[in-house]
């Protein structure tokens, strides 16, 4: 008699487990379907490793940006300024290395510092002045964009030290330029912090229940500040990659990464570890979106479709996570 509920529970459990497993890999399956679709349409030009190698490398800055975003998102804060920070970082490198003649290593270090500074400014207004993060980072986005235009005279700065270019796209492993592996390294580091350190667990509690975190002895403000500074530094690192991929500093194109990166962050939260912003989900999502855009472009579909695709993916991603997660709270309320 006591057995009956146990068996039904475990039967229901295995059913739930299958659903859960499917949920975890659904995006990867859709990605494979997408590749299959484009591959069927363009067997030679799309389905070759060279195409994918370029795709993996050129979207590495976007991948790093998506990773940057999920840190404060997990702690419950939006950081919209990552796109502008990416631009700032690559232009700091351009100005200091090309115009001022600073060694590339020093220029990179200062670019990362600039990213940290953006994080600190955001954190000051979000945490201590208590302004909603969406508003603050929208403001700093415009502020930084203006600063970058002033700094660069609104012109693209070419001729960045070749050693950076070589380090980012010069070498290849399995045919894929190094740029991709930097993003992967960041994802490995981040999933270590998220899953295998107390800090990651605290970050999660700060995002889901500030008062719970506080009453359990977590220094909530410090965690949020750390998350915002981390996203600034990671966005600056994405800028370093971007400068390396282009070999120049472009004061305008960086903001184009913002939307796909956000879309990837939310889409990534529906996969691998559904319901949580997670690094591997974000990486998968970035390359899912990249595959879609590349395939559509190769099919000769006009440029505006890219924007529709990115925007649509963002809304769809949030919708999916709302629908599948109707039973649970999502990260951002």
Partner 1 sequence: MTTHETPAAQPAPPVLRLDGIAKTFGGARALKGVSFEVAPGEVHGLLGKNGSGKSTLVKILAGFHAPDPGGVMEFNGEPVSLPLRPGDFRRLGMSFVHQNLGLIPSLTVLENLRLSDLTAIGRGVINWSAEWRAARDALARFDVPLDPEERIDRLSAVDRALLAIVRAFEEVRVAREATGRPGLVLLDEPTPFLPREGVEKLFTLVRSIAAHGSSVVFISHDIDEVMTITDRATVLRDGDVAGSLVTREATHEQMVEMIVGRKLARAAPVRAVHAAHARPRVRLDGVASRTLRPTSLTVGEGEIVGLTGLIGSGYEELPYLAFGARRVTGGTLALDDGPATALADLTPRRAIDLDLALLPGDRQGASGVDSLPIVDNMFLPDLGRFFTGGLLRNGRMKREARQLGEAFEVRPNDPLLKLSALSGGNAQKVLIARWMNRRPRLLLLDEPTQGVDVGTRQHIFAALRQAAAGGMSVICASSDAEQLADICDRVLIFARGAVCEELVGEQISKESIAEACYASLDRAAASSPVNGTPS
Binding residues (CB under 8 A) for partner 1: these are: 9, 195-198, 200-202, 204-205, 208-209, 211-219, 275, 327-330
Residue with smaller CB distance to partner 1, 36 or 132: 132
Residue with smaller CB distance to partner 1, 199 or 305: 199
Q: How far is the CB of 213 from partner 1 (least distance, A)?
A: 8
- Quick check: 34 and 295 in contact, CB under 8 A? yes
Q: How far is the CB of 10 from partner 1 (least distance, A)?
A: 11
- Quick check: 27 and 267 in contact, CB under 8 A? yes
Q: How far is the CB of 182 from partner 1 (least distance, A)?
A: 22
Residue environment code for 252-277, b if the CB has 16+ CB neighbours within 10 A, otherwise e = eebbbbbbbbbbbbbbbbbbbbbbbb
Q: How far is the CB of 216 from partner 1 (least distance, A)?
A: 5
Angle (CA) 57-63-66 rounded to 5° is: 165
Residue with smaller CB distance to partner 1, 5 or 300: 5
Q: How far is the CB of 264 from partner 1 (least distance, A)?
A: 22
State how far the Cα of 271 lies from the Cα of 24, in Å rounded to an integer: 5
Residue with smaller CB distance to partner 1, 97 or 202: 202
Residue with smaller CB distance to partner 1, 2 or 44: 2
Closest CA to 147 of 233, 215, 239, 84: 84
Start-to-end C-alpha separation, the chain = 43
């Amino acid at each position: 008699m006591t057995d009956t509920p146990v068996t039904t529970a475990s039967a229901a459990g295995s059913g739930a487990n299958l659903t859960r497993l499917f949920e975890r890999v659904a995006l990867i399956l859709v990605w494979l379907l997408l590749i299959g679709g484009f591959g069927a349409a363009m067997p030679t030009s799309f389905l070759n490793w060279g195409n994918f190698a370029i795709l993996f490398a050129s979207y590495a800055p976007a991948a790093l940006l998506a990773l940057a975003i999920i840190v404060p998102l997990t702690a419950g804060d939006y950081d919209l300024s990552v796109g502008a920070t990416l631009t700032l970082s690559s232009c700091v490198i351009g100005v200091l290395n090309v115009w001022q003649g600073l060694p590339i290593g020093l220029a990179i270090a200062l670019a990362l510092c600039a990213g940290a500074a953006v994080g600190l400014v955001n954190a000051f207004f979000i945490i201590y002045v208590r302004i909603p993060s969406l508003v603050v980072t929208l403001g700093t986005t415009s502020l930084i964009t203006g600063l970058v235009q002033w700094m660069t005279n609104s012109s693209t700065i070419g001729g960045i030290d070749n050693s950076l270019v070589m380090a980012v796209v010069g070498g290849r492993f399995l045919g894929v330029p190094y740029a991709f592996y930097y993003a992967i390294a960041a994802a490995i580091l981040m999933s270590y912090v998220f899953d295998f350190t107390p800090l990651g667990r605290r970050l999660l509690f700060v995002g889901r229940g500030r008062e719970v975190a506080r009453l359990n002895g977590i220094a909530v403000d410090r965690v949020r500040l750390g998350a915002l500074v981390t996203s600034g530094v990671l966005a600056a690192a994405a800028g370093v990659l971007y400068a390396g991929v282009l070999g120049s500093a472009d004061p305008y194109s960086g903001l184009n990464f913002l939307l796909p990166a956000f879309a990837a962050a939310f889409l990534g939260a529906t996969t691998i570890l559904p319901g949580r912003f997670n690094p591997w989900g974000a990486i998968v999502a970035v390359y899912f979106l990249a595959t879609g855009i590349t395939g559509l472009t190769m099919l000769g579909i006009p440029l505006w479709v890219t924007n529709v695709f990115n925007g649509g993916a963002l809304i769809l991603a949030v919708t999916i996570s709302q629908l599948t997660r109707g039973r649970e709270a999502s990260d951002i309320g």
